[in-house]
Structure 1
C-alpha cells in the first residue's frame, strides 16, 4: 500500500506543480499588461436629422468620459467630439459636413487620454440637403383679396404640402412697418387687417418631426385681388324677371329666391331651372360675389351646387331672354378644397363651401350694372336646377 501510494502521488504532485506554473504565467501576463478598464456607454442617445448634419442628444453619467468618437460608413469616416463633464443632463453634439443620405453611426466614449473606451452604441438617422430642398414648393393659394377701404387682406389656402410646418406672410402695415405673420398648416383662411402692401410669402418644412433644421421655399409675391367698394345693401334686392325669363321652377314655396339675400344661411334658394335674375336696386361696379352653399352632405359639392356658371349684367331692364342687352361679366368655376370626388366631404370643404362661402371676382373693367343674370352650365351632381343659401355682393355703388 505504501509503495502504491507513492506511485500515485508523484504524478499528482507533478500535475499540481505544472498547474501552478501555468497559473503563474497568466498572473504574470495580467500584471505586465495591467487591468483593462472600460468607460460607460452614453445613455438615451437620440439623433435629430439636419441639413448636411446630424445633432446627437445624449446623457452621460460616467465621470471618466471626456470624448467620443463617431464612426459612419462602416468606420470609413469618423469625428472626435468633446463630451462635457457628466452631470446627468441632456447634452447635444453636432456631426457636420455630411452628405445627404441615411446613416448608421457608432458612438464610442473615451476618457481624457483616449486610453479607455466603451463598447459601441449604434444609432441610425438621416441627413437632408439639396435633393430634399428641390422637392419643396410653396403652399397653394385658392384666393387672396384685399378690401381696399379696410386694408383687410384675406387669404384662402389650399391644403398644406407634406412636411410643411408653417407658412410665413411678410408685408408692410399701414404705419409703414414690416410685419411677419405665421400660418399653421391647419389654417384654411388668414385675415390681416392692417395691410398696406409688399405682400410676399414662403413655406417652411421639417423633413422629420424631430429634425434639427427647417427648410423653406423662397419668398414669392402674394399679389391680392383688390376688392373695391362696400357690401351692397341687400334690403334693396328684389325679385325681377324680364320678358321670356319668368320666375318659375321653385322646388318648394319655402325655398324662394328672396332667401338668397335675407342675411342668413339657414334657409336658402332652390329651383329646377338653370338660371335666375335679380334687381339689385342700386347701380354699382361689382368687384366680388360670395355664395354660401347648402351644408347637407348630399348637397354640398353635389346635386344642384353650381360648379360652372356665367354672370351677366345690365344697367337697364331693357334686356331679353336671348341675351340682347346683357353684358357678360365673367365665367366662373366652383372650387372644392379637398379635391375629393363627388360624395366625399372634408371639414375644409364644409367651411369653405358653406360656412365662409365661395368668393368669385369681377374684372376691374366691369361696367356698372343694376340687374344680374346668373346662368349655370354644370352642377357638381349633374342635376338640373340651382341651390344655395345666400349671396353677397361687393362693389362701388354709384
Structure 2
C-alpha cells in the first residue's frame, strides 16, 4: 500500500528556500527597477526570468536586514508589458524557491510619441526685465514643466511649474526662453519622460492705452447707453467702470482707434464684474474682432481683416445664473483671446458682438488691453 509513496520517501525531505515576501516593478524607459523584500536568511541568490524563461538575470541578494528594500535594475528591454519570475536559492545554488511572479510596463519611443506637451499660451513683459508666462491645460501623465532662460548676468535660470499652477513670473529676464514638459507615466515610475525643449522667441507687451480714441466710420454709429458709460471707459485702466453699448439687434458692431499701427498678438478682456451681472447678462460671450490699417472702411466689411472669432468661457461650465468661485476669480483676472492673424498691421478696430451671456442687449465691456509682439 506504500508503493506510491516510497519513491518520494527514498529521495529524502525536500527543503525550499523562501521566495521573496513581496515584489513590485517600477516601470521605466527601456528598463525596469524591481523592488523586492525577503526575510529568509537562507536565500542568498536570486534568478529573475522573463520572456517565458528565454531571458534571465542571476544576482547575489544584498546582505541587508530582511525588512530592507532590495533593488534590481534590468535594462535594454523592448517597449511592452513584462512578466518576471523571481526565484531564490542558497549559496550552493540548491533548494530553489517557488517562483514569485510580478509584472510591469516598459516605456519607449512609441509611448513618447503619444504624449502631448503642456503649451505656453503666451509670455508677456510686465517690466523691462520681468516676463509673465501663462500656461495651457494639463495633458495626461503631466508631472511639471521645466522653463529655462538667461538672466541679466548671463546665467542660465531654471524654473518649474507644477500642475496646480497656471502661471509663473520670470525675473531678471534677458532672453533665450525655452521650455519642455516632464511626464510620469505611472505614480511609481522609475523614469521621468521629457519632451524636447521648445524655444520661445515671441514675447508680447501691452500697447499704450493713452493713444486709444473713439472713432467710427460711415454706417457704424455709436449707440452708447448713456454718456457716463462712453467707449473711453474700456481703456481707462479701471475694471470698476464700464462701456455700455445699447444697440437693438445682434450682430452689433462698435469701433475705435488704437492710435498707432501695430501687429496684435492678444486681447485681454474684462466683463462687468458687478455681482448678478458677471456671466449672467451684458457681458460679451461670442464676438469677432476685425482690423484695418486705414480709416477708409465702412459697415460692409470691405477693407477690414478678421483677426479672430472668439467665445468667452465660464470655467465651471455651469448653466446661466450659476457661477463657482473659480468662475468669479477667472473673470476678475481678465480673459485672454489670442489673435489668429497676428501678421497683419492694424490701427482701427471693429468689434462685432454676436451674443451676450443671456442673449440680450445691452453689451457691456469692463476693460480692454491689447498686446503686440516685441519688435
Normalised TM-score (structure 2):
0.76
Q: 1:198 Cα shift?
A: 1.6
Pair 284,394 (structure 1): closer, same or farther in 2 beyond 3 Å: farther
Q: 1:388 Cα shift?
A: 2.7
* Counterpart selection for 1:248 from 223, 241, 246: 223
Contact 1:289 1:391 in 2 (8 A): yes
Pair 109,376 (structure 1): closer, same or farther in 2 beyond 3 Å: same
Aligned residue number for residue 96 of structure 1: 75
Aligned residue number for residue 143 of structure 1: 122
Q: Are residues 1:203 and 2:203 paired?
A: no
Q: How does 1:21-170 map to 2 (within 5 A)?
A: 33=11, 35-87=13-65, 88-146=67-125, 150-170=128-148
Q: 1:117 Cα shift?
A: 2.2
Q: 1:76 Cα shift?
A: 2.8
Aligned counterparts of 1:354 and 1:67: Cα–Cα separation in 2: 64
Pair 70,257 (structure 1): closer, same or farther in 2 beyond 3 Å: same
Aligned residue number for residue 309 of structure 2: 333
Q: 1:341 Cα shift?
A: 8.0
Aligned counterparts of 2:135 and 2:281: Cα–Cα separation in 1: 18
Aligned counterparts of 2:331 and 2:309: Cα–Cα separation in 1: 12
Q: 1:261 Cα shift?
A: 3.7
**Higher mean Cα deviation, 344-353 or 289-298?**
344-353
* Counterpart selection for 1:271 from 212, 220, 245: 245
Aligned counterparts of 2:141 and 2:13: Cα–Cα separation in 1: 52
Aligned counterparts of 2:186 and 2:165: Cα–Cα separation in 1: 21
Contact 1:60 1:86 in 2 (8 A): no
RMSD: 4.3
* Counterpart selection for 2:284 from 304, 308, 313: 304
Pair 261,146 (structure 1): closer, same or farther in 2 beyond 3 Å: closer
Aligned residue number for residue 170 of structure 2: 192
Q: 1:53 Cα shift?
A: 1.4
Residue aligned with 1:143, SS: strand
- Long gaps (5+) in structure 2: none
Aligned counterparts of 1:320 and 1:124: Cα–Cα separation in 2: 69
Aligned counterparts of 2:311 and 2:131: Cα–Cα separation in 1: 20
Q: CA deviation digits over 1:171-194, x for unaligned, max 9?
A: 212211112221223332232132
Residue aligned with 1:196, SS: coil
**Higher mean Cα deviation, 384-393 or 160-169?**
384-393
Q: Are residues 1:218 and 2:196 paired?
A: yes
Aligned counterparts of 2:290 and 2:331: Cα–Cα separation in 1: 18
Which of these two proteins has the greater Rg computed from alpha carbons? 1
Contact 1:313 1:373 in 2 (8 A): no
Q: CA deviation digits over 1:253-299, x for unaligned, max 9?
A: 9866454345443554343442334577xx54556642123567983
Residue aligned with 2:111, SS: helix
Contact 2:293 2:345 in 1 (8 A): no
Aligned counterparts of 1:29 and 1:138: Cα–Cα separation in 2: 63
Q: 1:220 Cα shift?
A: 2.2
Aligned counterparts of 1:329 and 1:161: Cα–Cα separation in 2: 34
**Higher mean Cα deviation, 293-302 or 95-104?**
293-302
- Long gaps (5+) in structure 1: 1-18
Normalised TM-score (structure 1):
0.72
Q: 1:91 Cα shift?
A: 2.1
Contact 2:44 2:60 in 1 (8 A): yes
Q: 1:328 Cα shift?
A: 5.4
Residue aligned with 1:195, SS: coil
Residue aligned with 1:334, SS: strand
